[in-house]
Amino acid sequence: MHATTDIASLSSEEVTTFMRLAGQLRQEVDRALAWGSAEINQRSRRELGSRGLAKTEGYVNPQSLIAALMGSTKADARKIDHLGKSLMDASPVLFPPAAGSTGTDTRDGLPELARPWFAATAESMRAGDISPDRFEALRAGLGEASEVIPADALAAAAERILQLLHPEDSPETVYRDAANARAFLDRAGVAEKERQQLADQEAKVWTDREGMVHLRAIFAPEDGAWFINTLNLVLGPRIGGPRFVHGKAAAAAKTIEDDARSPEQIRASVLVDLLKAGALTDQNAILSQKRPAVQIVVTAAELTRPDGDGIAFVQGTGIPVSMNTVDRLACDTGAVPIVRNSDGSPLDLGREVRLYTRAQRLVIAALQGGCARDGCDAPAAFCEVHHITHWCEGGKTDIDDGILLCRFHHMQLHNQGHRIIRVPGQPYEDSYYWVPSKFGDIEQTPIKLRFRGVAHHNAQATPDPSLRAAAS
212/208 Cα distance (integer angstroms): 6
Residue 173 lies in a domain: yes
* Last-in-domain residue among 294, 316, 347: 294
- Residue 204, judged by CB atoms within 10 A of its CB (0-12, 13-18, 19+), counts as exposed
* Same-domain pairing of 364 and 464: yes
Split into its structural domains, the chain has a count of 3
The span from the first CA to the last CA of the chain, in angstroms, equals 53
Q: Does residue 198 belong to any structural domain of this protein?
A: no
Angle in degrees, 0-180, between the axes of helices 132-142 and 74-90, rounded to the nearest 10: 70
Single-letter residue type at 11:
S
Cα separation values, 95 from 37, 130, 330, 459, Å = 12, 21, 53, 35
Q: In this predicted structure, what is the pLDDT of residue 288?
A: 39
Give residue-wise pLDDT tens across range 188-200: 889 899 889 989 9
Of the candidates 368, 340, 323, 370, the one whose C-alpha atom is nearest the C-alpha of residue 190 is: 323
Sheet of 319-322: strands edge to edge?
296-297, 311-314, 319-322
Cα angle 431, 453, 183 (rounded to 5 degrees) comes to 120
Residues 230-284: tens digit of each pLDDT: 888 777 777 766 655 556 666 767 777 777 888 888 888 888 888 877 666 554 4
Residue 211 lies in a domain: no
Supply the pLDDT for residue 346: 39
Does residue 460 sit in the same domain as residue 353?
yes
Residue 202 lies in a domain: no
Measured in degrees and rounded to the nearest 5, phi and psi for residue 220 equal -65, 160
308-332: burial string, b at 16+ Cβ within 10 Å, e else:
eebbbbbbbbbbbbbbebbeebeee
Does one domain contain both 283 and 391?
Answer: no
Residue 200 lies in a domain: no
Which pLDDT does position 339 carry in this prediction? 47
Q: Is residue 51 located within the same domain as residue 157?
A: yes
Domain that holds residue 374: 296-471
pLDDT at 313: 83
Looking at residue 289, its pLDDT comes to 42
CA atoms within 13 A on the CB side of 382: 24
Same domain for 284 and 302, yes or no, is no
Q: Which residue, of 294, 315, 336, is where some domain finishes?
A: 294
Of 241, 267, 294, the domain-final residue: 294
pLDDT of residue 389: 77
Residues 328 and 238 in one domain: no
Say if residues 453 and 318 touch (Cβ distance below 8 Å).
no
Please enumerate in sequence order all residues whose Cβ is within 8 A of that of 414, keeping only pairs 6 or more positions apart, or say none. none
pLDDT tens per residue across span 77-128? 888 988 888 888 776 544 544 444 444 444 344 445 567 888 888 888 888 8
Query: Do residues 152 and 134 make contact, with C-beta atoms less than 8 angstroms apart?
Result: no
**Together in a domain, 113 and 180:** yes
Indicate if 268 and 366 belong to the same structural domain: no
State the Cα torsion 82-86-89-94 to the nearest 10°. -100
Residues 231 and 290 both lie in one domain: yes
348 shares a domain with 272? no
Indicate whether 285 and 316 sit together in one domain: no
To the nearest 10 degrees (0 to 180), the angle between helices 187-199 and 221-239 is 70
pLDDT at 379: 81
Q: Is residue 339 part of a domain?
A: yes
Q: How far is CA 382 from CA 147, 398, 428, in A?
A: 42, 20, 22
Regions of the chain short of the pLDDT cut 50: 1, 93-94, 96-111, 283-290, 339-352, 464-472
pTM of the model: 0.71
Mark whether 326 and 359 lie in a shared domain: yes
Beta bridge partners of 320: 313
Burial 430-442 (b: 16+ CB within 10 A, else e): eebbbbbeeeeee
The pLDDT, as a whole number, for residue 277 is 72
Q: 33-42: per-residue pLDDT in tens?
A: 988 998 898 8
Domain assignment present for 199: no
CA distance 291 to 70: 53
Q: Which amino acid is at 221?
A: P
Q: Rounded to whole angstroms, how far apart are CA atoms 263 and 267?
A: 6
* Residue 208 domain-assigned (yes or no): no
User: Residue 27: phi, psi to the nearest 5?
Assistant: -65, -40
